[in-house]
Amino acid sequence: MAVSGSVKTALQVAEVLEAIVSRCVGPEGRQVLCTKPTGEVLLSRDGGRLLEALHLDHPIARIIVACVSSHLKKTGDGAKTFIIFLCHLLRGLHSITEKEKALILENTQTFERRWKNCCQWKCISQALLTFQTQILDCIMDQYLSRHFLSIFSASAKERTLCRSALELLLEAYFCGRVGRNNHKFISQLMCDYFFKCMTSKSGMEVFELVDDCFLELNINVTGLPVSESRIVDGLLLHRDFSVYCPADGDIRVAIVREIIQPVFSTSRSEFVVNSEAQFQASQIWIMERTKSVMKHLLNQNVKLLLSSVKQPDLVMYYARLNGISVVDCLSSEEVSVIQRIIGFTPLVLPQASLQCEISDTALVKFCKPFILRCKRYVHLGLISTCTFIPHCIILCGPVQGLVEQHENALYGAFKMLRQLFKDFDLNYVKKDNNQNDTLSPPIYKNCGKSNQLPKSYTQSIQRPYQDTGIKSNDELEETQYLKVHSNLVVSNVELETYTPCSPPKVTPTDAVHTDETWRCLPLENDRVIDDYELLIESNSISNSIIDNTRIEISYENFQIIDTAKKGSMLPVKYRSLDMCTSQSFCSSSIPAGCVLPVGGSFEILLHYYLLNYAKKCQQLEEIISKLIADALLGIPKILYKSKKGNHSFPQIYLRALHTLQTNQPMVRSQTGLESVTGKYHLLTSVLQCLTKILTIDLVINIKRHPQKNSDQDSDDELQH
């Protein structure tokens, strides 16, 4: 059986998925109960898990699910948005083709038509790819970047994480992940955990450690209300002491991976018994040896022995006699967590003598039993040698399914943060002075020729300095001159917008100078030119001092444009642009910690800039840009579906457009932040998925068992 792969079928599949997913998306989303074939019951709002649980049969659906899961592996977020966005893209494509089909004469042969179709799809998918790799990055960098906020406050020399910003970010994340009554609690828990585990020097390695060892760092307890969840200092091992001897003072810990008691013969060796006396002697030797090993450990002040294997009774006995606590049967993962935290290797017992000093021991603050709902755990106060301060999360919930959901959400949040804390390089290099750049319509060229652009477009670049400018001017004198200059004012919390890691060193006199210029900025046109010259001067100074950081330049850029608008002095603007771009010769990137407010602001912003971009494009590009821009709106549409009146989507959208056009600060109904990089990845993943779907023309169903020598993932491939 062969099914022609068309947009129509793909759309049908995507619409079904969208219908399911859209009920779980956003803060109003609801839970889904999944049962496993084993009878276990699982609760989830995680899109990826949901799609997996459906065990979809349709080949196109399986492509989509595969794309989603590969996206999730990368970012840990956005499965539901993925489906919604993809569905809207397909819907858009479908309506375009429907329109064109009406134009195509009916008398063409079927085969020909299909051939034509395929060519067309290929064209479109190629255009999508170009868009994704070139134009998208360009727009992100040129326009969107100015709206970015950062979760770091750049007050000191080094960037520090702003707690309130992180709280907002996590709250928004958990809003879509866990039940409505728990998301605040869980996000608070995560935030606490994060700040408890981090030191000032902590960096990516903490994320890596938590990411790798997440299962070992949390304990699940069922039967208690969720609100009993908490964080405990130190590490909890998922088992009880085999021997527990209370000890205080200096407690040293040693890890072993083998049985301490010697055995008669190891594998592939023989033990020859010649006489009964010999056998008895060897048994006695084994006992004495075990005894002396344990004595030796005690002499080295080892009070706690961690073992990855089960230790025999004899070892336990001597441990107890010597007052050494023993925890055995530890999983290799637990052992590796301990090793990573305290940074030493398991003890290898010396074969010959026991005189040597054992170097592979570490100090622990305490080791004691920890009782949680009648089950006993080992509680270790490890002293960390890395930047991770060990803490454990105890996750409680009435049922296992709910606890697992929270666990997965926490895990996903760490993945999301891990990505957020990395700079992300865009595939877009700013090399402006070369006039022969091959990149398709470069934005800055358009900037330069903005006098030819429609009015709305010019306005879009302009900044609301009428409003916020004054405020920042006041602050200029005492602080850096970069302060809140985004038009997105986050309620409750004052977020500082992104500033580069190295704060710009503008000489005070210059700053004051600029400041004054701003203040005496007259409305009369005749004095404007002087002001601009002053401004440019200051710009050139600052530009030469700062290390060509991209964001910085775009800031300068916009400042000039902004003033240019007031005086409508295009030549000045042109010059300033040239000057800026000539100095910025580095590749662009989304810096670490970039966030945008939740509630579709990323989508609306990108939608707006894409529409502007589309106005000056060729035919196919224009179609693609418009298509993507319209599809982007699908997500906020669903988010605001239940809202009425002033908070309904059309209202929000119109207001947003209005504020973008008139450069007023945006008023937002929701608090919360989301990662820009995550959104960006989502967009690219969806576009890649779409191109994948579009390039398929025929789905061939093979009714045969997959070959044994084929790959594990061949399941999917055989279907198409």
Residue numbers 312-331 binding other proteins by CB under 8 A: 312-318, 320-321
Distances in whole angstroms, Cα of residue 658 to Cα of each of 466, 662, 667, 717: 16, 6, 11, 48
Closer to other proteins by CB, 467 or 715: give it: 715
Closest Cα partner for 143 from 668, 586, 561?
Answer: 561
Smallest gap from Cβ 326 to other proteins, in A, equals: 11
Cα–Cα dist 349/240, whole Å: 24
Smallest gap from Cβ 224 to other proteins, in A, equals: 6
Smallest gap from Cβ 404 to other proteins, in A, equals: 12
* Per-residue b or e along 684-703, where b marks 16 or more CB atoms closer than 10 Å to that residue's CB: bbbbbbbbebbebeebeeee
Site for other proteins in 73-112 (CB under 8 A): none
Distances in whole angstroms, Cα of residue 685 to Cα of each of 77, 628, 673, 688: 12, 13, 21, 5
Straight-line distance from the first to the last Cα atom of the chain, in angstroms, rounded to the nearest whole number:
11
Closer to other proteins by CB, 222 or 684: give it: 222
Site for other proteins in 619-678 (CB under 8 A): 642
Smallest gap from Cβ 587 to other proteins, in A, equals: 44
24 makes contact with other proteins (CB under 8 A): yes
Distances in whole angstroms, Cα of residue 547 to Cα of each of 578, 658, 679: 17, 35, 28
Closest Cα partner for 686 from 43, 40, 47?
Answer: 47
Amino acid identity at 102: A
Q: Which of 28, 437, 578, 622 binds other proteins (CB under 8 A)?
A: 28
Smallest gap from Cβ 3 to other proteins, in A, equals: 17
Smallest gap from Cβ 234 to other proteins, in A, equals: 17
CB 48 within 8 A of CB 4: no
Site for other proteins in 144-203 (CB under 8 A): 179-181
Closer to other proteins by CB, 261 or 308: give it: 261
Candidates 262-270, 343-351, 378-386, 387-395: pick the segment binding other proteins (CB under 8 A): 262-270
Closer to other proteins by CB, 269 or 619: give it: 269
Q: Determine if residue 256 is left, alpha or beta; phi over 0 gives left, psi from -120 to 50 gives alpha, anything else beta.
A: beta
Q: Which of 2, 37, 455, 492 binds other proteins (CB under 8 A)?
A: 37
Closer to other proteins by CB, 213 or 699: give it: 699
Closer to other proteins by CB, 162 or 236: give it: 236
Smallest gap from Cβ 697 to other proteins, in A, equals: 24
Candidates 46-54, 125-133, 469-477, 670-678: pick the segment binding other proteins (CB under 8 A): 46-54
Candidates 34-42, 198-206, 418-426, 624-632: pick the segment binding other proteins (CB under 8 A): 34-42
Which single residue is written with the structure tokens 């970069």? Answer: 482
Cα–Cα dist 626/632, whole Å: 10
- How many residues bind other proteins (CB under 8 A)? The answer is 76
359 makes contact with other proteins (CB under 8 A): no
Site for other proteins in 683-702 (CB under 8 A): none
Site for other proteins in 195-234 (CB under 8 A): 222-227
Smallest gap from Cβ 156 to other proteins, in A, equals: 37
Candidates 48-56, 124-132, 508-516, 613-621: pick the segment binding other proteins (CB under 8 A): 48-56
Distances in whole angstroms, Cα of residue 523 to Cα of each of 255, 466, 528, 566, 656: 76, 12, 8, 8, 28
Q: Which of 7, 14, 32, 93 binds other proteins (CB under 8 A)?
A: 32
CB 450 within 8 A of CB 458: yes
Q: In what order do the strands lie in the sheet with 673-675?
A: 149-150, 594-597, 673-675
Listed as own residue / partner, the contacts of 522-527 with beta carbons closer than 8 Å and 24 or more positions apart are 525/567, 525/568
Site for other proteins in 276-305 (CB under 8 A): 276-277, 279-280, 283-284, 287-288
Paired sense of beta strands 391-397 and 218-222, if any: parallel
Smallest gap from Cβ 708 to other proteins, in A, equals: 8
Closer to other proteins by CB, 32 or 561: give it: 32
706 makes contact with other proteins (CB under 8 A): yes
Q: Determine if residue 258 is left, alpha or beta; phi over 0 gives left, psi from -120 to 50 gives alpha, anything else beta.
A: beta
Closer to other proteins by CB, 226 or 484: give it: 226
Q: Which of 104, 263, 356, 363 binds other proteins (CB under 8 A)?
A: 263
Cα–Cα dist 604/607, whole Å: 5
Q: Which of 2, 57, 353, 357 binds other proteins (CB under 8 A)?
A: 57
DSSP annotation of 236 reads E
Closer to other proteins by CB, 318 or 613: give it: 318
Cα–Cα dist 494/368, whole Å: 44
Cα three-residue angle 153-491-156, rounded to 5 degrees: 10
Closer to other proteins by CB, 155 or 222: give it: 222
Closer to other proteins by CB, 74 or 368: give it: 368
Cα–Cα dist 257/348, whole Å: 8
Q: Phi and psi at residue 298, in whole multiples of 5°?
A: -65, -40
How many whole angstroms from its chain centre is CA 262? 50
Smallest gap from Cβ 216 to other proteins, in A, equals: 23
Closer to other proteins by CB, 32 or 592: give it: 32
Closer to other proteins by CB, 43 or 362: give it: 43
Closer to other proteins by CB, 38 or 110: give it: 38
Q: Which of 7, 11, 13, 50 binds other proteins (CB under 8 A)?
A: 50
Copy the structure tokens of residue 581: 């771009």
Distances in whole angstroms, Cα of residue 401 to Cα of each of 33, 34, 217, 572: 9, 9, 19, 63
Closer to other proteins by CB, 115 or 271: give it: 271
Smallest gap from Cβ 31 to other proteins, in A, equals: 4
Site for other proteins in 448-487 (CB under 8 A): none
Q: Phi and psi at residue 76, in whole multiples of 5°?
A: 75, 20
Smallest gap from Cβ 303 to other proteins, in A, equals: 16
Cα–Cα dist 231/586, whole Å: 44
Candidates 261-269, 358-366, 456-464, 549-557: pick the segment binding other proteins (CB under 8 A): 261-269
Closest Cα partner for 26 from 606, 680, 672, 690?
Answer: 672
Site for other proteins in 393-422 (CB under 8 A): 397-402
31 makes contact with other proteins (CB under 8 A): yes
36 makes contact with other proteins (CB under 8 A): yes
Smallest gap from Cβ 155 to other proteins, in A, equals: 33
Which single residue is written with the structure tokens 């709002």? Answer: 45
Closer to other proteins by CB, 582 or 642: give it: 642
Candidates 163-171, 260-268, 294-302, 597-605: pick the segment binding other proteins (CB under 8 A): 260-268
Per-residue H/E/C for 556-576: HHHHHHHHHHHHCCHHHHHHH
The helix or strand, by DSSP H or E, that contains position 77, with its residue range, turns out to be none
Q: Which of 267, 351, 492, 544 binds other proteins (CB under 8 A)?
A: 267
Candidates 145-153, 258-266, 298-306, 660-668: pick the segment binding other proteins (CB under 8 A): 258-266
Closer to other proteins by CB, 117 or 222: give it: 222
3-state secondary structure at position 528:
helix
Copy the structure tokens of residue 46: 């995680």
Copy the structure tokens of residue 236: 């909890």
3-state secondary structure at position 686:
helix
Copy the structure tokens of residue 255: 């890890």
Smallest gap from Cβ 302 to other proteins, in A, equals: 19
